[in-house]
Structure 1
Amino acid sequence: MSNCNCGGVPDVSRIIYPCNGCADVGEVSDQVCRQLRREGFAQASMSCITGVAAHMQPFIDAAKKANQVVVIDGCPVGCAKKVLEHVELSPVSYVLTQMGLEKGKTEVTQKVINEICYKIKADFINSSK
């Protein structure tokens, strides 16, 4: 990580990718990523996981330039994580079904989205990722 111009706090560029799967947990993944970007947890302009999967170099370059790459997969299949691993990235990985959500039985609500956002931010604070 590089330092900020003030010489104090490290400058962290973080990019976050959802799996965007068609199941309810894929939708939650997408909404969580969007909210975390709005809140400043990750860069507002994100690279597209589909662009990475399509081997489009600008999308891959954007991912590789980030200090931290985070992926939120809806289920243990881990599609988004695997896409990033194919371009030799090792993202910080979250799987929503391992965070208490149940595929096919999760209502996509703001409460669920807020709870997952809170858990992810708390994990970063507690683990200093």
Structure 2
Amino acid sequence: MIFGLTIPRIKLGLESIQQGVTGMSVGENIKRFREDAGYTQKQLAEIIQVKEPYISALERGQRRPGKKILPLLCDALGVDEKTILFGTREEYQRPLSYEEKVLLAATESLSKDQLREVIQYMMKLKASGE
């Protein structure tokens, strides 16, 4: 009771607080950005080297991306952590750099399989720190 008024207790989980920014959960954000990137759950799982059910559980809100997985998700989906967690698109819609434009131009004529190989190689290269 505060100032003679009874205030009901409201239990808010982290997911509810995060939905306050865009109305979308972390899982919904992951799904939206995955679909925007044109990946299936299986493809995204292969890129970040996890099992497909893990991606499904993330998108349904049954799991949350850990400290190791979150940066991999961000790299694969082309967004930053703030964007995944809160759904803001400021960084998501930034202009492409010269290097990114060159990379896109170089991959235009590749098949989907070849492009997946390039992506997997780039993820391994980034993970190795070279």
Q: Same-fold call, TM > 0.5?
A: no
Higher helix proportion = 2
Greater relative CO (CA pairs within 8 A, separation 6+):
1
Tell me the TM-score range normalised by the shorter chain. 0.3 to 0.5
| TM-score, with structure 2 as normaliser | 0.41
Normalising by the residue count of structure 1, what TM-score does the alignment of the two structures yield? 0.42
Hey, which of these two has a bigger chunk of strand by percent?
Answer: 1
Q: Which has the larger radius of gyration?
A: 2
